Structure 1
Amino acid sequence: MVAGIFLETPDGKVHWLDTGTGLVEQVAQSREHFDELVRSSPELVDDWFLPPLVERLNAEGKKPNEGECFGFTILPVFAEGKYDTDNMFVVSVREQMVGLADVHRQLNGLPDGSSVRVKVTD
């Protein structure tokens, strides 16, 4: 629901794509290992799924339906972007993923701390 997609590679490893920052990291050697981490590591579940944030979003009436997720007004990859209810809204998964992919593609390769100008077009 918030900022992450888990991907299983052909060799069975599980990676986490943080859609807010564009970072990808391997989190488990296999799906079984991933399932065990979810069952046994509440701190990882908190990091990956952000349940307290989802609860606050839901309390504010921001409740995605099927095919929807939470999006960001300002992506957390930018200094001004936060994982906070004031910076988040409900959006279709497709719209969110296409938009994020385009932004992260454009940011790819820039050093941390780079200044960018964001231009929004229809």
Structure 2
Amino acid sequence: MRITWNELTVSMDGVDLEQLLSEWRWLVQDSVQPVLISSLGDLFLRHEDGRILWLDTGTAELCEVASDAAEFKELMVQPENANSWFIPQLVGDILSQGKQLAPGECFSYQVLPALGGKMEPDNFEATDLQVHFSIAGQIHRQLHDLPPGTPIGDISFE
């Protein structure tokens, strides 16, 4: 299956971008704005100084990937970066299972990697963007101060 940027990204049309980040403000500053959402539910953000940051919603890692939008556009098409940031093989495998995205959806983890979930097609399902970002942000907020290996008993959602 040939994977294009249409399969690797989702449209932000009609998405309340502030609401999308509301459960991630513990990690993400107010001075960033979403610029791109991957079909696997990760978010690329532009800082007010122009830097592009990658929010990996599976691991709750936020890292700088480019100094500005022009550099990001160059870097994202390089195979090494595309494979790391967008994981086209996994997206293709998910699509091959017959799973599809409707507008306003991404492929979201059924079980986050932080809770033992795997990066495999069976661990993903089409999910509303707001639901994906809200649940992942709440879970990671509850987990972020725990030492590695801490048994997880209860996770609550608002």
TM-score above 0.5:
yes
CA contact (8 A) 2:138 2:157 kept: no
Task: State how far apart, in whole Å, the 1-side matches of 2:151 and 2:85 are.
Answer: 28
Pick aligned residue for 1:82 from 94, 118, 143? 118
Please say if residues 65 and 72 of structure 2, whose CA atoms lie closer than 8 Å, have aligned partners that are also in contact.
yes
Partner of 1:98: 134
The gaps in structure 2 that reach 5 residues or longer are 1-38
Instruction: Tell me which of 23, 40, 61 is aligned to 1:23.
Output: 61
Quote the offset at 1:83 in angstroms.
Answer: 1.1
**1:35-114 alignment, distance < 5 Å:** 35-39=73-77, 41-78=78-115, 80-114=116-150
TM-score by length of 2: 0.71
Structure 1: distance between partners of 2:121 and 2:156: 22
- Equivalent-residue separation in structure 2 for 1:68 and 1:98 (angstroms): 13
SS of the equivalent of 1:7 reads: strand
The alpha-carbon deviation at position 4 of structure 1 amounts to 1.2
> How many residues are matched?
120
Question: Which 4+ residue blocks in structure 1 deviate beyond 6 angstroms?
Answer: none
Instruction: Give the gaps of 5 or more residues in structure 1.
Output: none
Query: Residue 120 of structure 1: CA displacement?
Result: 5.7
Of residues 30, 33, 40, the one that matches 1:2 is: 40
What is the CA–CA distance in structure 2 between the aligned matches of 1:51 and 1:67, rounded to whole Å? Answer: 20
CA distance in 1, matches of 2:81, 2:108: 21
Q: Give 1:121 shift.
A: 6.4
> Kindly, what percent of the aligned residue pairs are identical?
34
